[in-house]
Chain A
Amino acid sequence: MADSKYLVGVFDDGDELLHAVEDIRHQGVKIHEAYTPFAVHGLDRALGYSFPRMGVAAFLFGLTGTCCALLLTFWTMGVDWPINIGGKNFFPFPTNVPIMFELTVLLAAFGMSFTFFFMEDMGPTAKPIIFDVRSTDDKFVVAIDLAKNKLSEAEISKLLKESGASEVNVKEV
C-alpha cells in the first residue's frame, strides 16, 4: 500500500494548529486531515468542512420511531385485538404518547450514532491510518498528501515550521 507520501506536521497546542491550518491553506496547500486528542473548536471550519448535519439523521430516524410506535399501538389495540376496558375507546391516543416518545428517542439515538459510524467508516474491524500515535495523547497533527500538492516537500515543510510545528515528519502509507 506504500504508494502515498504524507508530510506530518506535529504541533504542541491546539490553537497553534488551528492558526497553522489557516495559514498554510491560505498559501494554497491542500491538507489531507488534522488529528487532535480532543475537539479543537473551529478546526473543521478552518479546514473548509461544511457544518456537520447529524441532526438530519436523528430527525429522520426519530420520525420513523414515532410512526412505528403509532402503528404498533394502533394496530394491536385498535385493529388486531381490540379489548373492551370499561367501555372506553379501543385506541385512546394520549395513553400511547409515552410509547411514541420512547421509540422516537430510541431510534433517533441509535440511528444517528450508527449513521455517524457508517459515515466515518468506523467498526470493530476498521484499520485506521495513524499518522502519529501521539495524536490521541498530547500532540496536534496535520497530514498533507504530497501527491496532491504542487508545492515541493521542502517548501511545505518550511511553511509548517514557520507556522509553529515542533516537528515535521514524513510518513508513507
Chain B
Amino acid sequence: MHVVSPIRETLVLNGKSYHDVTEDICKQVEGKPTKEWKIVFGISVLVLLYGAAWVFWTWWEGLGVWGLNKTVGWAWDITNFVWWVGIGHAGTLISAVLLLFRQKWRTSINRAAEAMTIFAVICAASFIVMHMGRPWLAYFALPLPNTFGSLWVNFNSPLVWDVFAISTYFSVSCLFWYIGLIPDLATIRDRATGVRKKVYGALAIGWTGGARAWARYEDVSLILAGLSTPLVLSVHTIVSFDFATSVIPGWHTTIFPPYFVAGAIFSGFAMVQNLMLVTRVVYKMEDYVTMEHISLMNKIITLTGSVVGIAYITEFFIAAYSGVEYEQYAFINRATGPLWWSYWAMMTCNVISPQLFWFKKIRENILVSFVMAVVVNIGMWFERFVIIVTSLHRDYLPSSWTYFTPRMGDISDYIFSFGFFFTAFFLFAKFLPVINMAEVKSVLKSSSEKYPEKKKTTV
C-alpha cells in the first residue's frame, strides 16, 4: 500500500514517530509563551496601535490625509488591497490545489498558509472599507432594498462582484481552515485538563476520529478543495476585472485575469516562505519544514515569477501591436516616464531576481530564500503600484497630468495592515497548532526516512 519511489526526498526528518509529531507541535500550544514570542508579539501590537490611530484619523479627517489628487484617485489604498488579496491566495492554493494534485509536501505548510490567507484577506478588506471614506455607509455595497437608502446594487459592476468574491473567499477559507483544524483540536483536547480542555473541546465539536467520520471528513475535504480551486482563481480574476473592464489605457487588457492570478500565487508563496522560515526556526520545526519544502516553494516562485514576466512583456507587445496610440503611450510612459523607477523595481524584483533560483545552491540557501521572498513581495507591491498609478497619472488631458507622492496617511494606513497581520499571525501561532498533525502523521510512513521497515511492508 505504501510504495514510494526511492528518488523522493523524505518530508519528515529524524525518524519521528506519531507521538513525536504530537509532542513537537502541541508543545507550542501547551507551553507558556516564550520570551521571543512576547517580544515579537509586543512589537506587532504596538505597530497595530499606531496604525489603528491613523486609520481612525483617516476616517475622522477624510481621505485628504492621503496623497491622492484629482488625477490619481486610486493609489496606495487599492495597491495595498490587491497586494494583500494576492498574498491571501497562497493558503487556499496550497491546501486545495496541492490536495487535488496529491502533493504530500503540502501537509506541513498548509495550516500556517491558510491562517495567513485569512489574515491577509482581512487586511485587504480593511483597505476597501478605508477607501470608501465613509465606512459607515459600507453597507451600500450589499444588495439591500431601496428603502435602506440606496438603490439596489448594480450587478453589472465588477466592484459588486468583488464584494461577493472576497466575502465568499473569506468565508470558505475560514471554513476550510477550521475543518482542517478539527482533528488537531481534538488531539489537544485529549491531552489537556481544566479550562483548556473545555475550550479546545468546544472548538473540536466532539471529534473522535471514528472511521465513518474520517471517511466523510476526507470526502468533505476533497470536495471543498474542488470548490476552492475555481474559487481562488475567480477571486483574483474578479479583482483584475476592476481594472480590465474600465477604459483606462494600461488597465483595459484581456490578459489581466491570468496575469493577476499568477502574480497572486507568486506573492502568496513568497509570503508563506517568509513566515515558514521564521516559524521553523522559532518553533524548532526543522524536521517538518525541510530543505525539500523550501526548495519546492522556490521552484514555484521561479515558475510564477516567469509567468508574470511573460505577462509584462506580452502587455508591451500587445500595446505596440494594437496600434492604439494611448495604449502605446501608457506603456512607454510606464517604463520611461517620471515613475520609471517603480517599473524597473517591479521588473528587477519579480522577473530577474527569481531566476537565480535555477541554481540549486541558491535555491537551497535559507538566507537567500528569505531575502528573495521579501524582494518578491516588494516587487509585487510595485507591480500593483505601477498598474494603478502610472496608468492614471497621465490621463487624456495633458493639463491634468500629475505625479503621486504618498503622505503620512498612506504610509501609516499601510503600516496598520502589517500590525494587524503579524498580531493575528502570532496569536494563531501561539494558540493553535501551526502544523497539521493529522496530515503529517498520515504521510509519515511513506515519507519518513527511518520508519521501521517491518511496518512499511505489512501489506
Contacts and interface: CB of A to CB of B under 8 A. Distances in A.
A119 B191 CA distance: 26
A81 B152 contact: yes
Interface stretch (A100-108, A151-159, A165-173): A100-108
B224 A52 contact: no
Contact of A72 (B22, B143, B156): B143
B17 A106 contact: no
A105 B231 contact: yes
Interface stretch (B202-210, B285-293, B337-345, B421-429): B202-210
Contacts of B268: none
Interface stretch (B55-63, B163-171, B360-368, B406-414): B163-171
A41 B179 CA distance: 19
Contact of B205 (A98, A126, A137): A126
B216 A128 contact: no
Contacts, number: 198
Interface string B223-267: 110011011001000100100000000000000000000000000
Contacts of A96: 155
A116 B455 CA distance: 33
Interface in A42-72: 42-44, 47, 49, 52-55, 58, 62, 72
Given A55-B219, A98-B234, A138-B19, A73 B155 contact: yes
B379 interface: no
A103 B208 contact: no
Nearest to B209: A35
A1 interface: no
A125 B202 contact: yes
B320 interface: no
B458 interface: yes
B214 interface: yes
Contacts of B191: 133, 137
Given A15-B458, A44-B215, A52-B219, A122 B202 contact: no
Contact of B190 (A106, A119, A123, A136): A136
Interface in A76-102: 76-77, 80-81, 83, 85, 92, 95-96, 98-99, 101-102
Nearest to A14: B445
A91 to B, nearest CB: 9
A113 B206 contact: no
Contacts of A122: 205-207
A162 interface: no
Contact of A35 (B210, B223, B238, B441): B210
B195 interface: no
Contacts of B202: 124-125
Contacts of B1: 15, 41-42
B224 A113 contact: yes
A52 B210 CA distance: 14
Q: Which of A15, A47, A110 has the most CB atoms of chain B within a 10 A radius of its CB?
A: A15
Given A112-B220, A130-B190, A135-B209, A49 B215 contact: yes
Q: Which of A36, A109, A125 has the most CB atoms of chain B within a 10 A radius of its CB?
A: A109
Contact of B216 (A101, A119, A136): A119
B238 to A, nearest CB: 6
A124 B209 contact: no
Contacts of B190: 130, 133-137
Given A36-B214, A106-B171, A116-B217, A19 B151 contact: no
Interface string B13-42: 000011100100000000000000000000
Q: Which of A16, A77, A92 has the most CB atoms of chain B within a 10 A radius of its CB?
A: A77
A7 interface: no
Nearest to A101: B234
A15 B22 CA distance: 20
A120 B458 contact: no
A169 B168 CA distance: 47
B218 A109 contact: no
B175 to A, nearest CB: 6
Contacts of A112: 220, 223-224
B208 A58 contact: no
B358 to A, nearest CB: 37
Contacts of B171: 106, 109-110
Contact of B211 (A40, A92, A113, A124): A40
Nearest to B213: A120
Nearest to B218: A39
A76 B153 CA distance: 8
Given A39-B442, A52-B215, A99-B161, 13 more contacts: A37-B209, A39-B217, A47-B212, A95-B155, A105-B168, A105-B227, A109-B171, A113-B175, A113-B220, A113-B224, A128-B206, A135-B209, A136-B189
28 contacts: A15-B458, A35-B210, A36-B209, A38-B439, A40-B214, A43-B214, A44-B212, A54-B216, A54-B223, A55-B223, A58-B223, A62-B227, A73-B155, A76-B143, A95-B155, A95-B156, A98-B164, A99-B155, A105-B231, A113-B175, A113-B220, A113-B224, A122-B206, A124-B202, A126-B205, A130-B190, A136-B187, A138-B19
**Closest 7 A/B residue pairs (Cβ):** A126-B206, A138-B18, A44-B215, A52-B219, A98-B161, A76-B152, A38-B442
Interface of B: 1-2, 17-19, 22, 143, 146, 151-156, 158, 160-161, 164-165, 168, 171-172, 175-176, 179, 183, 186-187, 189-191, 202-203, 205-220, 223-224, 227-228, 230-231, 234, 238, 241, 437-439, 441-442, 445, 455, 458-459
Interface of A: 13-16, 19, 33-44, 47, 49, 52-55, 58, 62, 72-73, 76-77, 80-81, 83, 85, 92, 95-96, 98-99, 101-103, 105-106, 108-110, 112-113, 116-117, 119-130, 133-138
